[in-house]
Amino acid sequence: MAAAGAPDGMEEPGMDTEAETVATEAPARPLNCVEAEAAAGAAEDSGAARGSLQPSPAQPGDPAAQASVSNGEDAGGGAGRELVDLKIIWNKTKHDVKFPLDSTGSELKQKIHSITGLPPAMQKVMYKGLVPEDKTLREIKVTSGAKIMVVGSTINDVLAVNTPKDAAQQDAKAEENKKEPLCRQKQHRKVLDKGKPEDVMPSVKGAQERLPTVPLSGMYNKSGGKVRLTFKLEQDQLWIGTKERTEKLPMGSIKNVVSEPIEGHEDYHMMAFQLGPTEASYYWVYWVPTQYVDAIKDTVLGKWQYF
């Protein structure tokens, strides 16, 4: 009599488990040399494939890492701003810089301060004239390769030079108060009595104007000869020219400037530049138009005009 079994199409419970147990417990057959080498190669290929999914981080010396740093710097605050090459010249020294074309004259002064140590308030910055602080380099048509002239002194230079000047100005004022008006003194009358020069420049009484771009001419010196004054701001010099010669004086060497209206012609002044320690060194100029008197004093003595 046949033993009772599972219905047709049904497997007896435990058959799969027993098969798996037999397969697991079956002793592995030793691999020959060819099979062992093939298995080792497959394992290496599998490890390489898994490693390729996550690239190793770039090391500091790698070119890729260096390119990343460089690109990050290029994309900094100056990105997208048009730059121009400038030659900044101060105190006979040239500085080559790149500067944004849409920056203002005030920002340029800050850049010059960082390069030279010259405070912005002490700078005269010139490019085809005085550079306005509120306009951009593009607006005043600065081009790449332009020369920017800077005139000015550091705080230490000012303290060293201005103290004697201040003392000289005070002494000169004290002496002026003790004396009669300059235009009445005999030494000046012999020049003033010649009258106003025919080619003297027009005057504007009660006005103050900046220095003209042309020399001041049509004036007399102490000997009665014609004299002209040329202000070379880019060289920080005053040129005093006569028919015979031209004296080129550093403005820092002029210790004081005095002036007085000419009686009967108050729209003109007589003016003196102190070139040495005493009044004997005064260089006198007569018939200076009154509108330029303050600008001359401020330019020579270091109080520059921005109007």
Give the CATH number of the domain where residue 253 resides.
2.30.29.30
Residues in the chain: 307
Q: How many angstroms separate the CA atoms of 171 and 183, rounded?
A: 20
297 lies in a domain? Answer: yes
pLDDT at 23: 43
What proportion of the chain, given as a percentage, has pLDDT over 90?
A: 38
Q: How many angstroms separate the CA atoms of 39 and 33, rounded?
A: 10
Question: What is the token pair recorded at 106?
Answer: 């005030």
Claim to verify: residue 132 and residue 186 sit in the same structural domain: no
Claim to verify: residue 116 and residue 151 sit in the same structural domain: yes
Claim to verify: residue 296 and residue 245 sit in the same structural domain: yes
Residue 49 has pLDDT above 80, yes or no: no
Q: Residue range 138-146: average pLDDT?
A: 90
Residue with tokens 């006198």: 284
Q: Residue range 97-119: average pLDDT?
A: 91
Q: How many angstroms separate the CA atoms of 64 and 162, rounded?
A: 58
76 lies in a domain? Answer: no
77 lies in a domain? Answer: no
Q: Residue range 76-100: average pLDDT?
A: 81
CATH classification at residue 146: 3.10.20.90
DSSP secondary structure code for residue 290 in this structure: G
30 lies in a domain? Answer: no
Q: Residue range 146-155: average pLDDT?
A: 82
Q: Of 178, 176, 148, which is closest to residue 258 (Cα–Cα)?
A: 176
Question: What is the token pair recorded at 289?
Answer: 């138009």
51 lies in a domain? Answer: no
Claim to verify: residue 186 and residue 233 sit in the same structural domain: yes
Claim to verify: residue 121 and residue 218 sit in the same structural domain: no
Domain assignment of residue 276, given as a range: 182-301
Q: Of 264, 270, 293, which is closest to residue 206 (Cα–Cα)?
A: 293
Q: Is the Cβ–Cβ distance between 197 and 219 less than 8 Å?
A: yes
Q: How many angstroms separate the CA atoms of 207 and 290, rounded?
A: 8
> How many other β-carbons are positioned within 10 Å of the β-carbon of residue 127?
19
pLDDT (tens digit per residue) in 9-41? 444 444 444 444 444 444 455 555 545 555 555
Residue with tokens 């910055």: 125
Claim to verify: residue 143 and residue 251 sit in the same structural domain: no
284 lies in a domain? Answer: yes
255 lies in a domain? Answer: yes
Claim to verify: residue 133 and residue 211 sit in the same structural domain: no
- CA 168 to centroid of chain Cα atoms: 34
Claim to verify: residue 111 and residue 198 sit in the same structural domain: no
Residue 77 has pLDDT above 50, yes or no: no
Mean pLDDT across the chain: 75
Number of domains observed in the structure of the chain: 2
Query: Could you tell me which residues come within 8 angstroms of residue 19 by beta carbon, excluding any fewer than 6 positions away?
Result: none
Claim to verify: residue 148 and residue 225 sit in the same structural domain: no
Q: Residue range 291-295: average pLDDT?
A: 93
Question: What is the token pair recorded at 85?
Answer: 């090459």
pTM of the model: 0.45
246 lies in a domain? Answer: yes
Question: What is the token pair recorded at 42?
Answer: 């497959």
Residue with tokens 């607006």: 139
Claim to verify: residue 192 and residue 241 sit in the same structural domain: yes
Claim to verify: residue 201 and residue 149 sit in the same structural domain: no
What proportion of the chain, given as a percentage, has pLDDT over 70?
A: 64
Residue 235 confidence class, pLDDT cut points 50, 70, 90: confident
Last residue of a domain, one of 123, 157, 191: 157
264-268 LR contacts (CB < 8 Å, sep 24+): 265/196, 266/205, 266/290, 267/203, 267/204, 267/205, 268/196, 268/200, 268/203
Claim to verify: residue 133 and residue 226 sit in the same structural domain: no
